[in-house]
A and B are shown apart, each in its own frame.
Chain A
Amino acid sequence: MRRSTACRSFHETSRHRRLLLKAGGMGLLGLTMPKLMQGAAASERVQKIAPRAKNVIFLFQFGGPSHVDMFDMKPDAPSAYRSPHGRISTRMAGMEINEHLPEVAQVMDEFTVIRSMHHTMKNHNSAAYYALSGHAPPSDDQRLRDTPDLYPAYGSVVDCLAPSTDPALPTFVSYPHTIADGSRTPGQHASFLGKRHDPLFIPRDPNKTNFQLPELSLPEDLSLDRLQQRRGLQQLIDQQSQLLDHAAEAKGLNDYYAKALSMLHSPRVRQAFDLSQEPASLRERYGRTTYGQGCLLARRLVEAGVKFTTVYFSRSIGGRSKTDGGWDTHGFDNTRMFPIIESYHLPITDQTLPTLITDLKMRGLLDETLVLWMGEFGRTPKINKNVSRDHWPQCYSVLLAGGGVKRGYIYGASDAKGEHPAEDPVTPEDLAATIYYLLGIDPNAMIIDTQDRPLPISSGKPILDIIA
């Protein structure tokens, strides 16, 4: 069997580099790097970028929240553009946000808001892939296919280049949905990095009373004790075959069995996923919703040491319902955007997001945890004939908190109507580079695709100005 070589560049070059330095007085200068390892110099720099963030919580808002109705309101725009919602001031000087977000206003001073995000993908799947991977999709396709030549999710890259050191813990966890718009949205898994870098994906609702990690819940008639006995028999058979002595593949399997059993035995891992250990009052504050409990779970996972947690706000682009779904509020079929977000999206955001920020902060975790709140694009600054808004990738806003970014800071600006960046435009590539940079990973580090091509994990530039 072929071993994944996708991450070889990082691990082996640092070792190789040490060997090189030892090998000759000329150091790097006279010596050369292996061909797949153009990231050689890059991986050296990895150690030089001091990590600001240990963990990331990525709150992905599928469907596309409206920038001009939330964090980039335009009170002076013509009425055809202006949000029908009022504004309230926040704890960030000069920052006004939607009146339906009073609790968010109370923690606004924790955030950096980027108001000049932009790209050109108008379809959900292409734009969401862009947001989840930091790489431009090959085409702007409503049903962009999830193929193994597309880039991996951020978390999979982190798992490849800077995995958790704790063997019992996954590096990358995602839940509770696989997002799709007609076809599965790319950018949610490891793609060409290989299955071992896929997220630990939990297709379960953390708001259900019996929520548990499926892998940690054994079938009824299989006790841990019985499993241990089975393992004993298995080990006896494996001794007989002697494959463990000389077959790399057998060693790999054996390590995974040991890890799986240690996860099953570890109270720490089990507890990380056990929301019933949280006080009822805190669970209420997060909100007894799938999203609310998902954010609470994210905090528990950060405490346990999971490095990258992605929480999907919704399974679908939604936008037509007051009880579920994403942010895609076009006003089709006599639905209307503003009543919908007033009664669903904004209240749920106002309950959960500030609670997460406050909770992380109280526990001293916010400084080392980057919270990223974003959708795949914004919404048309001009209100459409359905009194709603359509897709708008040309300009939108992103929120970041903790993990070494500035507190109470606005980066970039949109023009008078919120249609285009007016200052410091930021691309998803730049944001990707910033996330990696904050984690102490060189944004130009290389990963290897199925064609053995070395590809940079990001082609953007970190936004150094937002780093505290």
Chain B
Amino acid sequence: MRLLIVSTFLCLIGIVSASETISFRHDVMAVLSKGGCNNGGCHGNAHGRGSLRLSLRGEFPDEDLLALTQSNASRLLRIDAPEKSTLLQKPTLQIGHEGEKRFEVGSLEYETLRQWIAQGAAADPDDAPTLTSLEVTPATCVVEAPTDHFQIHVSALFSDGTRRNVSRWAVYEPSELNVSIDAHGRVEALRPGETTITVRYLHLQAPVQAAFIPARADFAWIAPAPVNAIDRAVFAKLKRLRMNPSPRCDDATFIRRVSLDLLGLLPTAVEARAFVADPHPHKRAALVESMLARPAFATRWALKWSDLLRNEEKALDEKGVRVFHEWIRSAMAANEPLDAFARDLVTTLGSTYEAPPANYYRALRDPTLRAEATAQLFLGTRLQCARCHRHPYERWTQDDYYQFAAVFDGLGYEILENERRDRLDKNQFIGEQIVKVGMERELKDPRTGEPPAAALLPIPGMPLPESDPAALDTLATWMTAPENPLFAKVQANRVWFQLMGRGVVDPVDDFRSTNPPINPDLLKVLERELIVSGFNLRHLIRLITASHTYQASAHPTASNAQDERNFSHTIARRLDAEVLLDAIHQVLGTQPTFSDVDSPLRAGELPGVESIHRNRKPKPDEHFLKLFGRPARQLNSDLERSNGTSLAQVFEMMSGRTLHRLLSQEGNALTTMLASELSPEDMITALYWSTLTRAPSPRECEAALAHLQAAPNQRSGLEDLTWALLNAHAFLLRN
């Protein structure tokens, strides 16, 4: 005890005295982490580096002790001559080290390792105190210029009641590159902005959220009155950051925005012009209300959930995909509460044709996949890392992983028929299956070779139920309970993400202490509203779309232009593949064509993905959807859909088969327009409204007229203008 206190004191003043006892677990392990030695890119790699392999981020100190002391490279530790140990010579570059210099001769790191070796490179005594908790202050810190730094204090609490200042030994990892942090935890701004710093000491970690705010001497808070609790939460943060929200968008932008977001459809010129002309003061709310009642609203969410639930033909077959899609669509149309919806998915057994939600499990063919998907979709928790090692940024251990997977073990399939077209493809199923529990258990913990006992995830603040954790009913009740600290937040955050383009927690399915919400109060508002409304999706959407935050313009103010995450203004984002394709067809009055589809469908109505992702030559519309990121539905993740822009997409829009064919197609909207009585000016105006939901400016109108006159014929001139409108930022992006 006395020694520990001495050590604390000496560490504080930066001296390592020759007399103290170095603890392997607390001192040496801290050096290995602080030096980055056990990172995944270095000796923490699964194969180690050079001849030394350490556990990733020091997960297994006992193994690391063995690796150091029983290494084949006998010169690693030289108890007779500690300075000659390669453990000291390599990281100080006295001899070659691929990982470069990690610390200096004579540094605290060096002295700690040297003394530990000199003292016999021993393990800690069995009764040595263990680390029980970490206190990191401040948890959040707003630093206003001209101040450009702050200090993080880290205290470690041990099982014998002692407390030790470990600021010098903690590892500091910022999420953004706008700060530098020295060895002692002093954080200095390199440029203004926010960052989350993960502070790690031994096996514990905690986040510090920091914001560095520029001086803005002339800043004055100017904002409209908050519409609801969302705005109050968002504005409070913006005010702290000295940013003003952008003003409200105009009516035309609003109808375009809600139409794309809620229905996946471009507003028609008629709808848009009527809305803009409508003098009613509450017309925005009325518009949202009318959209929530339209079938396209349910279809939009059926597409979203079909993406998330792996609704694809290889595992579910065509009929399965259809009935599953229809079940989701109906649930959304009927406004089934999101908790009941989730419960149906995780508890439904039986025929995948007769009981459509059973397709959730049909798509997830083994217990670990079911556990990973359930955790990620409904609890925003990515367990995958814990399959092989303790989650590096989270609390989850391999025990948690395999015990949770065991909840889904014994679930299986009675395959009534399998008419797979390719008998060699064991991923393909065509025919009815009965999803059942109580089937043969298949899961083994790879570390023991034994089947793990079932247990739900030990979420802090959520008591584990007393009933059988392996019963799916228990799982559903525990998972969807209003008091579950994750379920409602995750669902509310997903709805927010769909409408705003960025989660309050982002990525949207990665909730963890080290990835905190950008605005905790906002997340609380959304969670509370979802719960008190009875998990009512439409209620939450009404609330969000009514807020000033949702309705803010995409034009930044002087103070918020740099902001991308606090919802101070709207960030333009590319339309989803289906929305874009349907918008093009709507403008041109044409229909997309897909394989194996009997009745005409919009891209947004397609139940499955096979026509897009099968291995044969796709039709142009199918090619288009794939190119623009319609996912193959193999991940259960919001992030599988990729709305990133690529050169190939731009070539497709510029000169590819789809758009060019549609533009020049006889009988399309341009044909109709040319056959009408419209003047050139009226044609131009009509095209602007149907594509960009606005009238042309005088300058645009003039240029378009000049182009039509100069063109070899009116048709080709109109095609050019329409091409330009369909390739405009304001068409391709939702803003």
Chain A residues in the interface with B (C-beta under 8 A): 1-4, 12, 15-16, 19-20, 23-24, 26, 28-36, 38-42, 44-45, 141-143, 145-149, 170, 178, 180, 182-184, 194-196, 198, 200, 215, 218-219, 221-222, 226-227, 229-231, 233-234, 236-238, 240-244, 246-250, 252-254, 256-257, 259-261, 264, 444, 446, 450-454, 456, 459
Contact = CB atoms under 8 A, between A and B. Distances in A.
A13 to B, nearest CB: 9
B664 interface: yes
Contacts of B190: 19, 23
Contact of B645 (A12, A233, A253): A253
B650 A30 contact: no
A249 B180 contact: no
A242 B40 CA distance: 44
B36 interface: yes
A195 B692 CA distance: 27
A247 B571 CA distance: 7
A249 to B, nearest CB: 5
Contacts of A19: 177, 180, 190
A142 B198 contact: no
Across chains A and B, which 3 residue pairs bring their CB atoms closest together, nearest first? A233-B724, A35-B173, A1-B573
B41 A259 contact: no
Given A1-B501, A237-B725, A243-B554, A256 B650 contact: yes
A62 B148 CA distance: 58
B225 to A, nearest CB: 25
Interface string B716-735: 10001101110111101101
A249 B574 contact: yes
Nearest to A190: B646
A196 B650 contact: no
B104 interface: yes
Given A41-B100, A147-B635, A182 B425 contact: yes
Interface string B692-735: 10000101100110010000000010001101110111101101
Quick one: which of B36, B655, B703 has the most chain A CB within 10 A?
B655
Contacts of A241: 692, 728-730, 735
B188 interface: yes
B561 A32 contact: no
B380 to A, nearest CB: 12
Contacts of B721: 233
Interface stretch (B75-83, B158-166, B636-644): B636-644
A110 to B, nearest CB: 31
A233 B733 contact: no
Contacts of A194: 642, 644
B182 A230 contact: no
A219 B660 contact: yes
Contacts of A227: 654-655
Interface stretch (B5-13, B42-50, B463-471): B42-50
B319 interface: no
A246 B646 contact: no
A252 B572 CA distance: 12
B385 A23 contact: no
Contact of A230 (B627, B649, B724): B724
A32 B424 contact: no
B648 interface: yes
A26 B646 contact: no
Given A240-B700, A244-B729, A31 B180 contact: yes
B103 A1 contact: no
Contacts of B629: 195
Interface in B633-686: 634-635, 637, 639-640, 642-651, 654-655, 660, 664
A215 B651 contact: yes
B635 A149 contact: yes
Contacts of A16: 177
Contact of A450 (B41, B45, B640): B640
Interface residues of B, number: 101
Contacts of B336: none
A446 B39 CA distance: 12
B40 A243 contact: no
Contact of A3 (B422, B640, B644, B649): B644
A194 B574 CA distance: 15
A226 B720 contact: yes
15 contacts: A2-B502, A2-B507, A23-B188, A24-B180, A31-B183, A32-B183, A41-B99, A142-B425, A195-B629, A221-B716, A234-B724, A238-B729, A241-B728, A253-B729, A254-B729
Nearest to A27: B101
Given A222-B655, A459-B46, A20 B180 contact: yes
Contacts of B183: 26, 29-32
Given A148-B631, A230-B720, 19 more contacts: A1-B574, A2-B502, A12-B177, A23-B188, A29-B107, A29-B183, A38-B36, A40-B41, A41-B41, A41-B99, A195-B648, A196-B646, A238-B729, A248-B564, A249-B645, A250-B733, A256-B649, A256-B650, A453-B384
B644 A4 contact: yes
Contacts of B572: 243, 247, 249-250
B644 A38 contact: no
B382 interface: yes
Contacts of A233: 703-704, 707, 720-721, 723-724
A247 B735 contact: yes
A183 B634 CA distance: 15
Contact of B692 (A1, A184, A231, A237): A237
A427 to B, nearest CB: 11
A450 B636 CA distance: 11
Contacts of B729: 238, 241, 243-244, 247, 249-250, 253-254
Quick one: which of B172, B514, B564, B644 has the most chain A CB within 10 A?
B644
Contacts of B703: 233, 236
Quick one: which of A198, A221, A231, A249 has the most chain B CB within 10 A?
A249
B245 to A, nearest CB: 15
Nearest to B190: A19
A300 B634 CA distance: 38
Contacts of A246: 554-556, 561
A321 B705 CA distance: 61
Interface in B558-589: 561, 564, 571-574
Quick one: which of A2, A23, A38, A143 has the most chain B CB within 10 A?
A2
Nearest to A4: B644
A4 B643 CA distance: 10
Contacts of A180: 615
Contacts of A146: 632
A29 B182 CA distance: 9
Given A226-B720, A237-B730, A147 B700 contact: no
Contacts of A252: 645
A257 B650 contact: yes
Interface string B408-426: 0000000000000010111
A19 B707 CA distance: 51
B98 A234 contact: no
B173 A32 contact: yes
B448 to A, nearest CB: 21
B153 interface: no
A147 B642 contact: no
A256 B647 contact: yes
B524 interface: no
A463 to B, nearest CB: 15
B385 A253 contact: no
Contacts of B104: 29
Contacts of A244: 729
A253 B645 CA distance: 7
Nearest to B509: A451
B424 A143 contact: yes
A452 B175 CA distance: 12
Contact of B647 (A36, A260, A451): A260
B427 interface: yes
Given A246-B561, A452-B507, A230 B723 contact: yes
B181 interface: yes
B393 interface: yes
